Structure 1
Amino acid sequence: MNLFKRYFILFFIVLLVGCRHQEEPFNGNKEVRQMTLIYAVNNNNLSYDLKVNEDQMLKAMENVDPEEYKLLLYKYTSDGYGLYEVCNVNGRLQFVLLKSYEKSIPAVSADRISNVINDALGAYPGVPSNLFFWGHGLGWINPYKYSSTVIGKNASSESVEHLPEVYAFGGEYVEEDNVRNTVYIDLDQLADAIPDGKFDMIWFDCCYMSCIEVAYQLRNKCNTYVAYPTEIMGEGLPYNLVFPHIIGDNVDRVEAAKALYGYYTGKYSPDPVTVAVMDMESIDGVAEAAKRIIASGNILPSIAGMQNYSRMKGVGYYDFGQYMRKYADVNGKSSDADVEQLNLALKKFVIYSDASELDFRGYPIDKSNFSGLSVHNFANVNSAMDDYYRKLDWYKHVWQKPGVAE
């Protein structure tokens, strides 16, 4: 056998033993038991943090077989957008490109989100699946004035919709006419991009996404929802500590949330952190209890002294439980069965929540008024903010009066 043939055979063997740069998943001969997709919007000021998180993810994957427990990551690189899969290449775990995507379509396009999710689910159909959203979050609204662009479902055809100040997820840098804008996708479009009933868990590793409006909009998308009512430090989740409770045979999402909480509060100089784990099968009970309280009257509670998780001027993310109790109080129903029903429904819905002693402003967090969720103080005025709020499922079910068309 000549030297050329020896090298050719060796090269062919190397191709067989690891994942390949290909347009289809690498299944090997083992049954896939679970799939986790990280949808990262990292073309922004968080790009370095994702690199740190990737190393943490790979560290965590050393504890499982990557052929049985699939970890997929959608991200942006200098080469463009791609869907990557953790593979064992010559004894070393690494992210290997599974599929490339058109560079002109941003990650905050609803079409792109839908396509990536469908590609991941299609690669490993019928297996228990988790979805993480990674990037910037602003709940259901963006108070900033620097951009009014929302990338909509037709972003692939370069059409845009202008909805001032209403954003949910993303924070992506997008160049348009030599101007760099920071763009988000709004909540209702994000929800439309996620198929119903396909994910065991959705976890937003982003700021402000534990609000009742977001949770209710996503109520049919997953069994368990995990998010933060406040901001989160730029480094986000310590994936090496959290993934062992998410990926593998011993899934315990409460322990995963506790690992996040312990990581930040256990530092020599603790960082602020909040987290909530929600059972989406119980969210309807919360909505019904809130609807009865809202129907009790039209007087809005005073927000003075109310626990506010926002650091942004002009926009409050008020504790949901405290807000609803105060709403009942000012409308004369503070001690009736409706408030008790709300408290019971919240206990069933929020199966775990915790908060550090101080928030991101350095103010104490009152644990007795910490429900793990925030809510908007809906003033029902003629503003772009409230006009958009009326489009959300939470408004339609809880606030909208019977027989009133919107």
Structure 2
Amino acid sequence: MRPAADRMPAGGTAVASVQPWRWPAALVALAALALAAGGLRLARSPHEGLDTARGALGAALFAEGADAPLRLLGPAARLPLPEAPKPVEMVIAVPPQPSATQAPAAAPPATAPAAVQAASPQAAAAACERLLKRLPTISAKDCAATHLAESGAFSVQGTPLYWRDVLPPKASGPGAKAAGPAERPLRVLVVGAMHGDELTAAALAMRWIELAQDGAVASRQPVHWRFIPVLNPDGLLARKPTRVNAHGVDLNRNFPTPNWERDAPIYWDKRTRRDPRRWPGPTPLSEPESRFLHTQMDTDFKPDLVVSIHAPYGVLDYDGPLPPPNRLGQLRLDQLGIFPGSLGHYGSVRQGMPVVTIELKHELHMPDDGQVLQMWRDLLRWMDNNLADAPARNAH
């Protein structure tokens, strides 16, 4: 029990006088409080710096994605915002599976005609009005001359997926032969802008439509060309073009390659560290754009060759059973490997068809006209040397 002088009086009011021996203890207590306050301030400083860094990094992440999947998805199925990074490693939220509320795409026609008819001038003008602003070096006149037509399939946001067929001429120059009544021509499918931020991929496909129509530089064998210059229009036309489609899916990881359900999520998680630009989607062919292309390859068009145009690695990639082309223009062969869900992997392994993947050097700046033509010439030369018997071999 403390001495009587240290106790509270009966009324509950503290004693006004303090014994002399209590002053040192009071000073010690005050000093301890002051040190504690200073310690708290010092301890807060690193956290304040971390919060500032988090805010800056978060702002950068959100600015990058604000007009990519986030702007496109809508409130019912929005990708979660990236989590604030930890001091050592950054954690990015897993994108959600597509919601039933998201707009479905119209299915492509069950059967495709032998050749897609060129669009009317009005329809072609509407296509160009929509796409032209994202097609480097393509003029309004050039675009109109391609006569793009609606395929009947649509993107996530309801944008038409345009295509153009170019039939073989009766003759293709010296030594050329025309397709006989019972002989089908070689079928070549050219796909551009599978990734919406690769603008030059779409522009090169458009330039090649002009070359195919002109016929001045043509294969020695009859060729039925089918061009899909913009497979991912939602990504291409976003305020800031995006690699992924409007569901946040990388279409070039969404094809049904062997063991997709196991390999694609593992690759995305471990190799890309959950990079949202490379999310393969919840299931193979979950996206209307990849389903449309799959239908062309599997049932409708059944090409003998697929040419997929990308950027910006500046190389030539190849998957398939035939000897690869060594170069197209300035692009030299550099096979990049196999990726779960990729078009090249699917086409070569599941369909047994050659897939030539062109990686232009830049996604915004087109190669010059000479290189555009040289790549076309080199492709035709490789086709003549390696695919002469493909129509008979692949007759369905």
Query: Going by fraction, where is helix more abundant, 1 or 2?
Result: 2
Q: TM-score, normalised by structure 1?
A: 0.26
Query: Going by fraction, where is strand more abundant, 1 or 2?
Result: 1
